[in-house]
Structure 1
Amino acid sequence: MKKWVFTLTMAAGIVGLAGCGGQNSDTVAKTKAGNVTKEELYEAMKDKAGEQALQQLVFEKVLSKEYKVSDKEVDKKLDELKEQLGPQFEMALMQSGFKDEDDFRQSLKINLLQEKAAVKDMKVSEEEVKEYYNNKQKEIEVRHILVDDEKTAKEVKSKLDKGEDFKKLAKEYSVDTAANEQGGSLGTISIDEPQMDETFKKEAFKLKKNEISNPVETQFGWHIIQVTDIKEKPKKDRQPYDKVKDDYAHQLKVAKLDPETIQEALKDELKKADVKVNDKDLKETFDNILNEKKAEDDKKKAEK
């Protein structure tokens, strides 16, 4: 699972209410001290999460015109998340500001729409799809030695090539202290392992049983990887390639997405839709997406 899922805001939960602004002053709540009107509620919510709610509403309208996400697709993604997070799913919802599963589904649908917009022009080769299909048919047991720099990684690899013990070297060199308790073992992983670095997985799944990789650089440092076992999926559990290749091609494209690509796709869609914000307090809602200079300035401020 990509980590974007629970970086969603609670804006979707107030989308329905946000749409009530600008209408008549119908009473939402009555008290002896005075009533609360729709207009008052709208203004209060606008101050707290108006831009987020407006973005959600506009994104859904604009993207739904060009792309379709079915309830079945949302259910599938939701089931994947539940399986991956297990008993932590409900807690993750609460921590991310969602009141319940239905509240979360709306934001999940919008993110799936964003994905479709972002991958529409992306290409993957038949070779990539076949490789992914083949990797989906197995799981591997893997261990690694993680160090901070390439020089040390090459030193470790040289010692392994000379026959020195992997577990001993892991204990001596590796900065992954948790894995070192198991001789560098990371256990059994799949090609879709959500918590595993994509570069690490790609290199690990190229290895044969007992083969040791050359130094591999990821966001965490430099790895020496060894596959200690390969477990093939039973043939009866394998789906024909032609039946799943389109779905797998989409999954590969999504795996290549980054925030910049998604942002650029949203920018294109908003421009095509000629979005104009009439509410003076929300005029800048889409500036970070449409105004490249402002987005760059905000990014620099965040990095300081």
Structure 2
Amino acid sequence: MKKWILALTMAGSVLALGACNQTSSEKVAESKAGNVTQEELYNTMKARYGEQALQQLVYEKVLSKKYKVTDAELNAKVNDLKEQLGTNFDATLAQYGYKNEADLKKTMKLGMLQEKAAMKDVKVTDKELKDYYASYQPDIKVRHILVKDEKTALDVKKQLDGGAKFEDVAKKSSTDTASAQNGGDLGTINNTNKDQYDADFIKAAYALKVNEISAPVKTQFGYHIIQVTEKKEKKSYNEMKKDIEYQVKSSKLTSDDINKAMQNELKAADVKVNDKDLKDALNAPTTPAQ
């Protein structure tokens, strides 16, 4: 996940208990072996996740007074993630413990608020912005078929040149089982995530025209047959400058920067924790969700 997704996802379950009467004996669950009261449930979840939940609640209240994340900004982040993950989006949410897209947005919004608080002190130069633009490559949507040897790769290429459907051959022949079940789809590759791929793979993919099928491309993983299904045009520097500035600043942010910014915001807001059980909650470092 992105480093700006900084909120802790387990906190959400505790937040829902915040309105509960902590001394209530109301039965949450009943059994012949005994009952579970609202108070027992609250205290158990407070002990396990209370510091995370309090940290999230305080951060949201403090940061929302000074910084704003619009629905348009939030939706753009989610859509960017959807493009990168393609058909793997829902599976990835489940992998990271998110119930659904709304749950992801809740976490992402807090992460974006934290990022804005920390980013205001980050400086960039014109040279850094222009260097980024010079190396920038536009988004491409890619699918591939991965096999073990060149002979098999040439056979796959022959099948495709003969009219076989790419997705059918991928499901049948690709050793990349994760993408094979989706017809070889790898989603969107862009400047943010391209470093996750082999350099020879990226070089070959960006050299392709839309819908062109590559010759076998050798990487450390085997031999790939690659097809680019979409490719965006590179905009002018002036059109991209605002986004470039954000990307360069974001790349400079560290966990220490986030933690320092959060402590400054808490101090400025004069935050005090009255619950002795949670007195150290805001001293815990903010760590990126994985």
Which of the five TM-score ranges fits, normalised by the shorter chain?
0.5 to 0.7
d(CA) in 2 for partners of 1:24, 1:71: 38
The residue number in structure 1 matching 2:12 is: 13
Matches within 5 A, 1:110-121: 110-121=110-121
Contact 1:24–1:39 (CA under 8 A) maintained in structure 2: yes
Give 1 or 2: higher helix fraction.
Answer: 1
Change beyond 3 A, Cα 1:139–1:49: closer
Letter in 2 for 1:72: A
Q: Which has the higher contact order (CA 8 A, sep 6+)?
A: 2
The residue number in structure 2 matching 1:246 is: 242
Matched, 1:99 2:99: yes
With 97-106 and 39-48 compared, the bigger mean Cα shift is at 39-48
Contact 1:17–1:42 (CA under 8 A) maintained in structure 2: no
1:18: how far off? 3.6
The residue number in structure 2 matching 1:122 is: 122
Summarize deviations over 1:110-141 as a string: whole Å, max 9, x none: 1111111111011111232233233335589x
Contact 2:119–2:250 (CA under 8 A) maintained in structure 1: yes
Of all paired residues, the percent bearing the same amino acid is 46
Query: Tell me, which stretches of 5 or more residues in structure 1 are unaligned?
Result: 141-188, 210-232, 291-304
d(CA) in 2 for partners of 1:138, 1:112: 24
d(CA) in 1 for partners of 2:22, 2:278: 17
Matches within 5 A, 1:270-289: 270-289=266-285
1:97: how far off? 2.1
Matched, 1:78 2:78: yes
1:194: how far off? 5.0
SS at match of 1:76: helix
1:102: how far off? 1.0
1:61: how far off? 0.8
1:270: how far off? 1.2
The residue number in structure 1 matching 2:50 is: 50
Matched, 1:89 2:89: yes
1:25: how far off? 3.1
Matched, 1:260 2:256: yes
SS at match of 1:88: helix
- Aligned CA RMSD, in angstroms, stands at 3.7
Change beyond 3 A, Cα 1:245–1:98: same
Change beyond 3 A, Cα 1:8–1:269: closer
Change beyond 3 A, Cα 1:108–1:190: closer
Aligned residues: 212
The residue number in structure 1 matching 2:68 is: 68
Query: Tell me, which stretches of 5 or more residues in structure 2 are unaligned?
Result: 141-188, 208-229
Contact 2:11–2:50 (CA under 8 A) maintained in structure 1: no
SS at match of 2:281: coil
d(CA) in 1 for partners of 2:27, 2:58: 25
1:21: how far off? 4.6
TM-score (norm 1): 0.58
d(CA) in 2 for partners of 1:248, 1:9: 28
With 23-32 and 97-106 compared, the bigger mean Cα shift is at 23-32
The residue number in structure 2 matching 1:301 is: none
1:64: how far off? 0.9
Change beyond 3 A, Cα 1:38–1:243: farther
d(CA) in 2 for partners of 1:277, 1:112: 24
Contact 1:119–1:253 (CA under 8 A) maintained in structure 2: yes
TM-score (norm 2): 0.60
Change beyond 3 A, Cα 1:61–1:260: same
